[in-house]
Amino acid sequence: MNAMALPGCDEFRIGEWHRTMREATLNGGLPKTRIEALTDGIFAIAMTLMVFDIKLPSGAAESSLREQLFRLWPRFLVYMISFVMLGVYWVGHNNQYHYVRRSDRPSLWINVFFLMGVSLIPFSTGLLGQYPDERVAVAAYGSNLIMVGGYLYLLWSYATTGRRLVDSEIPADVVRLAKRRIAIGPAASVVAIAGSFFSCRLSLAVFVLIPLLYLAPGRIDAYWRRFGSSGATR
């Protein structure tokens, strides 16, 4: 009976494979659904892992507990910055894939390195939270943000150059404004790293500013409101 069922199963699998290949051929590339699923999973894990680095004080009297909680402020601050920044990068990647219609091998590898940077955020967050007055920690955290933002910029540039992975009708203004929007984070992170040579607290202030710059409406948001769904990528 099992032997009789196997040919049908094989035919079903072959049919599924042919449907997948037809979709890839019609789209001029590989399907993008698995990239989106992998991205969502890694972002969810990274955003969850960061909170485990904030350890609760133990065995302290009430007055001492307040003092110990206050000492945790750098960890809470960097955690909030990183959580919002991961939200910004997730929104940016999601918005890019609103326009991306297909993928290919180079774009898959760009995504892999982008996600590698995302997975490092919990480590660099913990490092800066524990050593907020150390230039090495500032440089590590800033370099991590540069890496993630840089690969997001590279992905958008690769996808839109020659309309390689996007529709040919996508407006040039959307491509240009999105690139400017993405570049804010890496550029500000360079400023933060440079500022650590004067004051690490100054660098922290710059890191606080970065997510606020993304949360504030930009020119591409105004463009989206004016022209509709031809719109925005953070």
Q: 201 with 212: CB under 8 angstroms?
A: no
Q: Which residue type sits at 213?
A: L
What distance in Å separates the CA atoms of residue 14 and residue 61, rounded to the nearest whole number?
A: 67
pLDDT at 186: 96
Neighbours of 200 (CB within 10 A): 19
Q: Which class for 181: exposed (0-12), middle (13-18), buried (19 or more C-beta within 10 A)?
A: buried
pLDDT at 54: 79
pLDDT at 194: 96
* 75 or 72: which leads in pLDDT: 75
Question: For 153, left (φ over 0), alpha (ψ -120 to 50), or beta?
Answer: alpha
Q: Which residue has the tokens 């800066």?
A: 128
Q: Is the pLDDT of residue 19 over 90?
A: no
Q: Is the pLDDT of residue 95 over 80?
A: yes
Instruction: Output the DSSP codes for 173-233.
Output: HHHHHHHHHHHHHHHHHHHHHHHTTT-HHHHHHHHHHHHHHHHS--HHHHHHHHHSTT---
pLDDT in tens, 181-230: 999 999 999 999 999 999 999 999 999 999 999 988 777 766 666 665 54
Instruction: Select from 203, 183, 93 the least CA-distant residue to 142.
Output: 203
Tally DSSP H helices, then E strands, for the chain. Answer: 9, 0
Global pTM reads: 0.80
Q: Which class for 42: exposed (0-12), middle (13-18), buried (19 or more C-beta within 10 A)?
A: middle
**Range with lowest mean pLDDT among 62-71, 110-119, 172-181, 222-231:** 222-231
Q: Hey, what are 96's tokens?
A: 């890019």
- Percentage with pLDDT > 90 across the chain: 55
